[in-house]
A and B are shown apart, each in its own frame.
Chain A
């Protein structure tokens, strides 16, 4: 994600005027593929133009601020996609809600290929494939002649009631994927630590009291020591 951002910023700076004139914001390469299906005739395009979102290439983009935008939909019908191309192409995008992959010769799709997308509402895939994560990961699965549609990605933390060790909680992190992250205030390995040690007050306190005690003891004790014994 951050890598993607850096590239974007770089592009923004180098071709600022050009981009402003054309009104194009930076977008990942996967949005600019040439495919056999005209993007304007797709469900995604209709949805995107009907709502406040903007169609950019094959992606539907929700622009939240000039330098930040969320890609919420992507149409890759008959784009010659493969599992690898797709997975690498959407790496760094985690706001996808609509994905169209039918008409591609994809032999397999795993839940990890979708990275950290947790809000997929509609995933259309070729009929030869089953929904990633299996039936338990989706609200419903609709099968037609040319495509399978996986509807409504489920949050396994809720649907499977996944528990986490003490001081951590379950977080949905992708299709059929969850993480146990530390509760607020907790940190460290296995979320065992809480709060931050007050290093500075401790250091000042111990140093001051040691110096005071040493001076006191020197005055009352060691200065009485006879020099011949001391030097021994």
Chain B
């Protein structure tokens, strides 16, 4: 009997892992679709701009005149990115809050389906009907931002519901690759169909997302309680009463020793979990969730970090094709190196932070190292190999840190001891951190095209370096605290082990 139950739990866990992974990956593929067709879209929105003579037939070369010049179109694309990210940020705060209160499966599948329809309208319907209108595009993209924001809080909350803290760093490190995998899926899909017309890039990614929404609707089980299973063991409740007495405000980052839960007998486990059926967890207020220890510094840090990370996400292919004159498909494919390195970064750092039981102590050095790497990248020569190598280094440091903060750290903070029996803050905290981050990212997207057209690409990289420095500054107090507690934590742990 227990064997069967175990297998079923594993089956559900596997399904949840992959469904949430791919649902968010497909969201990201849709976002990536737009950043990868930027050059093509700018071409489609503008008349031909060679001045030596008028080309005939005029319909073929001049009939689209939403913008006069490519620069204007690129600035507009920056405005679209910003509108999207602002709406996305607002949506994250809202959906984090809503996600803790409604059926997460329905919320996620509706969000995916709506996003799919909006992307289809933006990319395909507007192109096929030749309806090019700035205001319409902006409105569609704002609603799209709101709809896409259903994704992250829900999938993180589902993962948090199913997987315990002890394996969270490495597991969520691997899982948080979903954004990067989505970028890669998006980049490959787009470069495969871009030659048919940029609208097909949107059509393929949005169709896949719609298919994903059906899959989520049919297959997702948001919480073990839905199928009558126990939630994963929550070490915070039972194990570390002794560890956390002194350092309350850094609790979530301190109480994750590298102890496998298998060390505990099943009886111990049953003791520490509360009965979900009997006591229904109440949802935490929004303000209370914000004031949880660690949430504010990580939110601010993530705002600066996500600005840089998303600027790479939105503009890297454009930078490569604009600055080095590589063709769009090549740039799209090369830019995936950043994402791949980000996956490795997030996973490796996640693994070591699990071992160490601390995350900030690993993240801050990465952030500081990224500053000279960015300087190096801004002087990268027009050579694909060198460029990709430095790009990967930056992806490892920045993408890795961003992946870790947005998933493992968010889940830690959402499940920390200060919440006690109330596990319903997960989506809210995730929403707050990612929402603040997205506000930062939103501001970045408008800054990049203006800095680039006004002062050149170097100024963009200086902005990135400043942001990375500020990210490190925000986390520095936590970093110091973790170093201090690492020393005390060692002697305490020894004591608690001897007690057992």
Contact = CB atoms under 8 A, between A and B. Distances in A.
B195 A194 contact: yes
A194 B329 CA distance: 14
A61 B200 CA distance: 49
A4 B57 CA distance: 22
Interface residues of A, number: 37
B228 interface: yes
A222 B64 contact: no
Contacts of A177: 56
B288 interface: no
B277 to A, nearest CB: 10
B222 to A, nearest CB: 10
Most A CB contacts (10 A, CB to CB) among B19, B53, B218, B220 go to B218
Interface of A: 162, 164-165, 173, 177-182, 188-197, 202, 206, 209-210, 213-214, 217-218, 220-222, 224-226, 229-230, 232
B43 interface: yes
Contacts of B48: 165, 190
Binding site secondary structure of chain B: helix
A12 B452 CA distance: 66
7 contacts: A178-B56, A190-B48, A206-B211, A222-B219, A224-B12, A225-B226, A226-B227
A221 B208 contact: no
A114 to B, nearest CB: 15
A148 B457 CA distance: 60
Interface in B1-58: 8, 11-12, 15, 19, 40, 43-44, 48, 50, 53, 55-57
Contact of A232 (B103, B193, B227): B103
Contacts of A193: 195-197
Nearest to A211: B214
**Listed residue (A181, A188, A189, A229) with the most chain B CB atoms within 10 angstroms of its CB:** A189
A213 B63 CA distance: 44
Contact of A225 (B64, B198, B200, B227): B227
A27 B54 CA distance: 35
Interface string B215-236: 1001111000111100000000
A213 B56 contact: no
A229 B226 contact: yes
A164 B55 CA distance: 8
B219 A221 contact: yes
Interface string B161-198: 00000000000000000000000000000000101111
Given A189-B44, A196-B196, A220 B11 contact: yes
B8 to A, nearest CB: 7
B56 A189 contact: no
Given A180-B56, A221-B12, A221-B221, A188 B215 contact: no
Contacts of A229: 225-226
B60 A220 contact: no
Contacts of A206: 207-208, 211
Given A180-B56, A197-B197, A221-B15, A189 B215 contact: no
B204 interface: yes
Contact of A190 (B15, B60, B207, B219): B60
Question: Most B CB atoms within 10 A — which of A179, A190, A191?
Answer: A190
A217 B15 contact: yes
